[in-house]
Amino acid sequence: MKSTIHNDVFLKTLNHQSTPYTPVWMMRQAGRYLPEYRESRKNAGSFLELCKNTEFATEVTMQPLDRYPLLDAAILFSDILTVPDAMGLGLHFVDGEGPKFHKPLLDEKSVQKLDVPDVENDLAYVFDAVKSIKKSLDGRVPLIGFAGSPWTLATYMIEGQGGTGFLNIKKMLYTRPDLIHHILKITAESVSLYLAKQIEAGVDVVMIFDSWGGVLTHEEYETHSLNYMKVIIANLNLMGFENIPKIIFSKGGGQWIDKQAKSGADALGIDWQTNLGEARKIVNDKIVLQGNLDPAILLSTPKAIKEAVRKVLDSYGHGEGHIFNLGHGITQFTPPENVECMLEEIRNYSKKFHAGN
């Protein structure tokens, strides 16, 4: 597969090979900050319908690539909640309120009924999108597939929606740890199959988004979030996908980088609260780091953006092993020209840090 990728700087970095510059992509790079995305969405229905529409998913995945030739990777346009949706929880999006489930896991009975979905069929639309996007990319850059972490998916499955302060799932965690582990186990198995099918459909790299690992205690982070991401990584390796790079990202998990480094992942997402240089010392160059510009910087001026980009690159310093990214998804209020400015500065300023230059 790799031989067919024209721009392989991102893959080389993930494989600890030398590159001429620091590769970059952006979380949520296909999204509302782009006028062409908003245009595509106009007549296309609900967010979930969009994810299920191969043509649309392909179109919007390609938009940032077409606008920004300096991007080094594409990421599948989809949602982290497709897996619980396939489990029958009834995902829907309420405007201005984010995702909700019609049938959250409110009681023991609903938890016990939870089962691994028919991934191949129920999530076929995702694998179709992957194939279609790969065709459109035609080897331009690698394609990243992704899923939510079991803990993060469980928070939505139990709370039924975001913004609840995680009180329901935590109450269950402290009163019925058996139920939580049952949900996490089923979900980890489902995500393993889901990512395996994405790989079979053509993605070159997989990433697990652990948006809510940071709400756990240091101990629970390991037992309830990290350990289940490890299960997924181990499962994928067992299924013969050792050579597919795996990235994990626990937002708010900067205190636990030492633990994450031993997860079996090839790269760690780093949020902007974390000092990238110190994180590098902790992982001792054994694992690639991806991050960590505060996305809010992209709301400012070219001067401020360039300075901030340099700070991130200076913080990591010389040598391979850094993938530039934001510390979280790009916000919808970002002026698209500011992204251009960021990308140019990364390309120009990062060259001096690479022997491969």
Binding site residues, a copy of itself, CB under 8 A: 165-167, 170-171, 173-175, 214-219, 221, 252, 254-255, 272-275, 278, 294, 296-297, 299-301, 304, 308, 311, 331, 333
d(CA 216, CA 271): 16
Active-site residue flag, 79? yes
Active-site residue flag, 32? yes
Contact 308, 273 (CB under 8 A): no
Active-site residue flag, 347? no
d(CA 30, CA 61): 6
Residue closer to a copy of itself, measured from CB, 10 or 221: 221
Min dist. Cβ of residue 276 to a copy of itself (A): 9
Residue closer to a copy of itself, measured from CB, 234 or 299: 299
Q: Which residue has the tokens 């809010």?
A: 296
Residue closer to a copy of itself, measured from CB, 261 or 304: 304
Signed CA dihedral, 273, 231, 52, 325: sign only: positive
d(CA 339, CA 64): 10
Side chain identity at residue 22, one-letter code? T
Min dist. Cβ of residue 254 to a copy of itself (A): 5
d(CA 297, CA 293): 7
Given the residues 8, 33, 72, 79, the one annotated as active site: 79
Min dist. Cβ of residue 89 to a copy of itself (A): 22
Min dist. Cβ of residue 252 to a copy of itself (A): 7
Contact 305, 330 (CB under 8 A): no
Kindly list the distances between the CA atom of residue 18 and the CA atoms of 10, 21, 197, 349, in Å, as whole numbers in the listed order.
Answer: 11, 9, 30, 16
Given the residues 8, 21, 28, 68, the one annotated as active site: 28
Min dist. Cβ of residue 302 to a copy of itself (A): 11
Active-site residue flag, 140? no
Min dist. Cβ of residue 66 to a copy of itself (A): 27
Residue closer to a copy of itself, measured from CB, 99 or 202: 99
Given the residues 37, 68, 156, 316, the one annotated as active site: 156
Residue closer to a copy of itself, measured from CB, 31 or 252: 252
What is the pairing mode between strands 143-148 and 74-75? parallel
Min dist. Cβ of residue 274 to a copy of itself (A): 6
d(CA 57, CA 52): 8
Residue closer to a copy of itself, measured from CB, 129 or 276: 276
Active-site residue flag, 156? yes
Rounded to 5°, angle at Cα 41 from 38 and 46: 135
Residue closer to a copy of itself, measured from CB, 294 or 340: 294
Q: What is the set of active-site residues? A: 28, 32, 41, 79, 156
